[in-house]
Chains A and B, each alone.
Chain A
Amino acid sequence: QAGLTQPPSVSKGLRQTATLTCTGNSNNIGDQGAAWLQQHQGHPPKLLSYRHNNRPSGISERFSASRSGNTASLTITGLQPEDEADYYCSAWDSSLRAWVFGGGTKLTVL
C-alpha cells in the first residue's frame, strides 16, 4: 500500500522553528489534504491538525499546517522540550479507498 513520505528525523534548537514535510500524490494529499499527529513514546497519537490548517480544540497555535500541491507541511514555532516526539502525517486516499500514513519524523529539540 503506497504511503506518504516523511523525512525520518529533524533536529532543531530550543525556541527555534521546525518545518516537517510529507509528500503524497494527487489521490491523497493533493485531493483531501493531510492531517498531522504527534506521538510521544509509549502514548497513543494525538491529532494536531486536519485538512490543511484546522486545529482541534486545545492545540497550541505554535502548530500550523499548510499544503502545496501534493506536499503537506507542519511548522512548529518556539520549540519546547515537550515538542520532542514522533510526528505522522495521514491522508485519505481516494484511489486506494483507505487511509495512508507517512513513516513518521522523529523531532529532536536540542
Chain B
Amino acid sequence: EVQLVESGGGLVQPGGSLRLSCVASGFTLSGHSMHWVRQAPGKGLEFVLGIGSNGDTYYGNSVKGRFTISRDTFKNTLYLQMGSLRAEDMAVYYCAREDNSFDSWGQGALVTVSS
C-alpha cells in the first residue's frame, strides 16, 4: 500500500526556516516524480516544488529562491527546505506522488508563520 507521511510542521517566525519531511512506503520514491503542494487556510491548492525521477526540479513562482526540494533514496524520504518564510507561506503542505497526475497524497503538515 502506498503511504506518504509528512512531518516537521510547526510555528516559525517570519524570516525563519523550516524543513519538512515526507516518508514514503509501498513504493520507491526515486522512481517517481514527487511534489509539494500547499493549501493556505480556506484557500485552494498551490503547486510549490517538484522533483522528477531524473532529478530535475520544478518550481512554483512564489517560492523560487527561498525553498528547495531534495530526496534521500536510502531513507525513501522527500524533503522541503523552506527559508525566508513569510506570513503568506502559512499553509498545510502536502507531499504528493506523480503517477498520472497526483495519485497519492500525504495527510499534510501545517506550517504557521507568525511572530
- A1 interface neighbour in B35, B62, B105, Cβ under 8 Å: B62
Number of A-B contacts (CB under 8 A): 63
Does B115 count as interface, using CB distance less than 8 angstroms? no
- Given A44-B94, A90-B45, A104-B45, does the pair A35, B62 have CB atoms closer than 8 Å? no
Interface residues, chain B, CB within 8 Å of chain A? Answer: 35, 37, 44-47, 50, 58-62, 94, 100-103, 105-108
- B44 interface neighbour in A46, A97, A98, A102, Cβ under 8 Å: A102
Interface residues, chain A, CB within 8 Å of chain B? Answer: 1, 35, 37, 39, 44-47, 50-51, 54, 56, 86, 88, 90, 96-104
Please measure, in the bound complex, the distance between the C-alpha atom of A103 and the C-alpha atom of B45, giving whole angstroms: 7
- Given A1-B62, A44-B108, does the pair A35, B44 have CB atoms closer than 8 Å? no
- Given A1-B60, A1-B62, A99-B35, does the pair A46, B47 have CB atoms closer than 8 Å? no
* B59: A residues at CB distance < 8 A: 98
- B47's nearest neighbour on chain A, judged by CB, is A99
B61 touches A51 (CB 8 A): no
Main secondary structure of the interface of A (DSSP, over half): strand
Kindly provide the distance from the CB of A23 to the nearest chain B CB, expressed in whole angstroms: 15
* B46: A residues at CB distance < 8 A: 101
- A50 interface neighbour in B45, B94, B100, B107, Cβ under 8 Å: B100
Q: Which 3 A-B pairs have the closest CB atoms?
A: A35-B101, A44-B105, A1-B61
A98 touches B58 (CB 8 A): yes
* A50: B residues at CB distance < 8 A: 100-101, 103
Kindly provide the distance from the CB of A94 to the nearest chain B CB, expressed in whole angstroms: 11
B103 touches A47 (CB 8 A): yes
Please measure, in the bound complex, the distance between the C-alpha atom of A99 and the C-alpha atom of B102, giving whole angstroms: 10
Please measure, in the bound complex, the distance between the C-alpha atom of A100 and the C-alpha atom of B35, giving whole angstroms: 12
